[in-house]
């Protein structure tokens, strides 16, 4: 049994809350007391006597203001998998939330209202999925009950979306016709849509292969914390703790420590306090090396014959997440995993319209929810990979020096 993390993109109007409610309800993750509370509140009851959308009802602060503040995380499991849903609101002003949710997901469910077809919002969600290189996309064409469960309508929308997917280079797109309200093709196959022979949504989520998304060929490890007990019996113990980001590390491996550029050899590997011969992603490991070298948090251990990039002037895509606008020439902290570097945003080349992919001049400044191409300069060389080739070592954030807020998602190029 493994974990699948996915994000649902769509608005209440697309039936997103009903879909999540349906997944939780049909997988029996909703318990009796929660159901009883729902039954009391439900006004829009379905055949089961409850309003599934209420299962994902938000905070009182949100209800009072009629808004959704944030990404909510939901959990359910089946005998095959544990699922973590990042439930993000889908409107344009929430691009920030979608990026946050998508950054921790390996699959996105894009909801389309079968009556409306592919709309601007669908394109926006798809552009974000493409920008963040999400490995799996499911297009759930919902409200099929409102278009007479029409195969023709399904094929029409599918053909429309295929054009979007081709333009955005989205791979691994799966199409499922559903009715979240009635439960068609969510867990069980729809009786009324016998023309659809593919898996139900849950069957697909249970089966989709995510283990192969993990990179096992380019070893990347960043020192997170140095373990030095300095007790009598562990006097000389010095272990470098961190997560295996990608690739596989074995004892005896020849490594290069970056950015210093010093070579050494791995002498011992520990995971959870036990010695092992090799470590792989996403294990939290402790590596020991042969030489006594000054190493601190943020240093990269790479294989001598497979090196990441080292640069201090880098082209980036910035997704701006803060209410304060981006000001060209301002200094920020760049946080790349555990490494913190002073950074200047030097040149903002252009904005990308997240609805159309068009390039727009960035002269009037960069505001919340905008995506821009820019150049940054770091105070010391950054050790990283291209986001498109090794996204796990090609992502970072910008932190405002004065407010300490996380102001941008950074894709390194």
The total of other beta-carbon atoms located within 10 Å of residue 172's CB is: 14
Residues 147-176 within binding reach of other proteins (CB under 8 A) = none
| 267 is a site residue for other proteins (CB under 8 A) | no
Site for other proteins in 365-404 (CB under 8 A): 392, 395-397, 399, 404
How many degrees, rounded to 5, is the angle at CA 174 between CA 280 and CA 412? 45
* Nearest of 225, 228, 167, 176 to residue 203 by alpha carbon: 176
* 309 part of the interface to other proteins, by CB under 8 A: no
Tell me which residue of 217, 190, 187 sits closest to 202, measured CA to CA: 187
Q: Return d(Cα 132, Cα 125) in angstroms, integer.
A: 11
45, 163, 216, 342: which one contacts other proteins (CB under 8 A)? Answer: 216
Position among 13, 44, 45, 69 found at the interface with other proteins (CB under 8 A): 69
CA-CA distance, 285 to 265, in Å (whole number)? 16
Q: Interacting stretch for other proteins, rule CB under 8 A, among 13-21, 25-33, 156-164, 353-361?
A: 25-33
State yes or no: residue 224 binds other proteins (CB under 8 A): yes
Q: Which is nearer to other proteins, 72 or 140 (CB)?
A: 72
Q: Which of 212, 232, 305, 361 binds other proteins (CB under 8 A)?
A: 212
In order of 41, 132, 369, 376, the CA distances from 351 in angstroms are 45, 16, 11, 15
Using the rule CB under 8 A, is 115 a contact of other proteins? no
Asked if residue 140 lies in contact with residue 122, where contact means CB atoms within 8 angstroms, the answer is: no
Minimum distance from residue 209 beta carbon to other proteins (Å): 11
CB 280, min distance to other proteins, A? 4
Handedness of CA 276, 281, 286, 289 (dihedral sign): positive
For other proteins, the binding residues in 313-352 under the rule CB under 8 A are 321, 333, 335-338
Q: Residue 206 phi/psi, 5° resolution?
A: -70, -30
Applying CB under 8 A, which of residues 225, 260, 267, 389 lies at the interface with other proteins?
Answer: 225
232 binds other proteins (CB under 8 A): no
Quick check: 261 binds other proteins (CB under 8 A)? no
Q: Which of 42, 74, 192, 331 binds other proteins (CB under 8 A)?
A: 74
């Amino acid at each position: 049994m493994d974990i699948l993390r996915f994000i649902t993109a769509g608005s209440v109007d697309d039936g997103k809350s009903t879909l999540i409610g349906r997944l939780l309800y049909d997988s029996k993750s909703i318990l009796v007391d929660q159901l009883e509370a729902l039954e009391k509140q439900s006004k829009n009851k379905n055949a089961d006597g409850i309003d599934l959308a209420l299962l994902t009802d938000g905070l009182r602060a949100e209800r009072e203001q009629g808004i959704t503040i944030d990404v909510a995380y939901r959990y359910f499991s089946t005998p095959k998998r544990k699922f973590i849903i990042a439930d993000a609101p889908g409107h344009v002003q929430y691009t920030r939330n979608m990026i946050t949710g998508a950054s921790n997901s390996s699959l996105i469910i894009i909801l389309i209202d079968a009556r409306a077809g592919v709309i601007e919002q669908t394109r926006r969600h798809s552009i974000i999925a493409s920008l963040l290189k999400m490995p799996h996309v499911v297009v759930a064409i919902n409200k099929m009950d409102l278009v007479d469960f029409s195969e023709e309508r399904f094929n029409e929308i599918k053909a429309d979306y295929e054009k979007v997917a081709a333009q955005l280079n989205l791979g691994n797109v799966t199409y499922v016709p559903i009715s979240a309200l009635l439960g068609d093709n969510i867990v069980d196959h729809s009786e009324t849509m016998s023309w659809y022979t593919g898996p139900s949504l849950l069957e697909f989520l249970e089966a989709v292969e995510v283990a192969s998304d993990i990179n096992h060929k380019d070893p990347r490890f960043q020192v997170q914390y140095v373990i030095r007990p300095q007790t009598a019996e562990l006097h000389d113990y010095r272990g470098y703790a961190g997560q295996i980001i990608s690739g596989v590390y074995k004892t005896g491996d020849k490594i290069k420590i970056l950015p210093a550029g010093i070579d050494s050899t791995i002498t011992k590997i520990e995971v959870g306090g036990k010695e092992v011969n090799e470590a792989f992603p996403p294990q939290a490991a402790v590596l020991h090396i042969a030489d006594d070298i000054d190493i601190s948090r943020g240093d990269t251990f790479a294989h001598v014959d497979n090196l990441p990039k080292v640069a201090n002037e880098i082209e980036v895509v910035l997704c701006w997440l803060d209410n304060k606008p981006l000001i060209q020439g301002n200094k920020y902290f760049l946080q790349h995993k555990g490494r913190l570097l002073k950074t200047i945003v030097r040149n903002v080349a252009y904005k990308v319209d997240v609805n159309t992919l068009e390039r727009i001049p960035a002269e009037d400044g960069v505001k919340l929810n905008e995506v821009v191409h820019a150049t940054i300069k770091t105070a010391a060389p950054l050790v990283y990979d291209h986001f498109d080739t090794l996204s796990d070592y090609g992502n970072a954030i910008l932190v405002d020096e004065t407010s300490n807020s996380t102001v941008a998602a950074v894709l390194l190029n």
